[in-house]
Amino acid sequence: MKKNFLNMLPLVVFLALVISFATILLRPEKIEMMSKPMPPLTLKGLKTEDIKGPALINFFASWCTPCHAEHDNLMALSEKHKLPIYGIAYKDKRKDTDRYLKELGNPYKKIGRDDKGRAFIDWGLSGVPETFLIDADNMIRYHHAGVLLEEDVSATIMPIIQELETTDEN
């Protein structure tokens, strides 16, 4: 019995490593930008002074399929929860963005155009969609990479917003 366990040990260690690396790599939250002031925005259509938190900043593009997948959740956040969402269209042609939002609805309070992809780098993105939750002081409270699922909204976004609201009242 003891010998069997020793023989299996390398496999067990290997699997433990695979699982721990996979959980870290597949986690949707990115920590680098969190608890930092949001980088200044000087985009066509969206500037720093336009933004009033708590709010979401959502990088998207009409050509990005995962963005379609999260669109309903953004609509629910802006309509049901009255959360302002500012959109940043990444390398997207104006008419394509317009058609996309006309078809699926427009959850955005305002839309900035990141045609050169400079805001994308400045905000530390590695793809679209990515979403930031910022507080009333324009500090980044949460950075989500990839599709914002319904469970991400209920388990992560909403609790942070509720926490922000209670600290605001005090």
Partner 1 sequence: MKTRAILIIAALFLFLAPNSHAFVNPDEQLSDPALEARARDISKDIRCPVCESQSIDESNADVARDLRILIRERLTEGDSDEEIIEYLRIRYGDVVLMNPPLNKTTSLLWLGPFLILILGGIGTFLFIRKAQA
User: How many residues can be counted in the chain?
Assistant: 170
93 contacts partner 1 (rule: CB under 8 A) = no
Bridge partners of residue 114, in order along the sequence: 90
84 contacts partner 1 (rule: CB under 8 A) = no
Interface pick for partner 1 out of 31, 65, 80, 170 (rule CB under 8 A)? 31
127 contacts partner 1 (rule: CB under 8 A) = yes
Residues 155, 161 contacting (CB under 8 angstroms): no
Q: Could you tell me the smallest distance in angstroms from the CB atom of residue 45 to partner 1?
A: 20
Of the candidate spans 56-64, 70-78, 119-127, 158-166, the one that interacts with partner 1 by CB under 8 A turns out to be 119-127
Nearer to partner 1, 125 or 161 (CB): 125
26 contacts partner 1 (rule: CB under 8 A) = no
27 contacts partner 1 (rule: CB under 8 A) = no
Handedness of CA 116, 122, 123, 124 (dihedral sign): positive
Q: Could you tell me the smallest distance in angstroms from the CB atom of residue 76 to partner 1?
A: 29
Q: How many residues bind partner 1 (CB under 8 A)?
A: 17
91 contacts partner 1 (rule: CB under 8 A) = yes
| b/e burial code for range 83-103 (CB count within 10 A of at least 16 → b) | bbbbbbbbebeeeebeebbee
CA distances from 23 to 19, 20, 128, 147 (A): 6, 5, 21, 17
Reduce the DSSP state of residue 110 to 3 states and report it.
Answer: strand
Q: Where are the beta strands (DSSP E) in 40-137?
A: 42-43, 46-47, 55-60, 85-90, 110-114, 130-134
What the block records as the tokens of 75 is 């609509």
Interface pick for partner 1 out of 18, 118, 150, 167 (rule CB under 8 A)? 118
Q: Could you tell me the smallest distance in angstroms from the CB atom of residue 88 to partner 1?
A: 15
Interface pick for partner 1 out of 110, 124, 156, 160 (rule CB under 8 A)? 124
What are the residues binding partner 1 (CB under 8 A)?
Answer: 10, 31-33, 36, 91, 116-118, 120-127
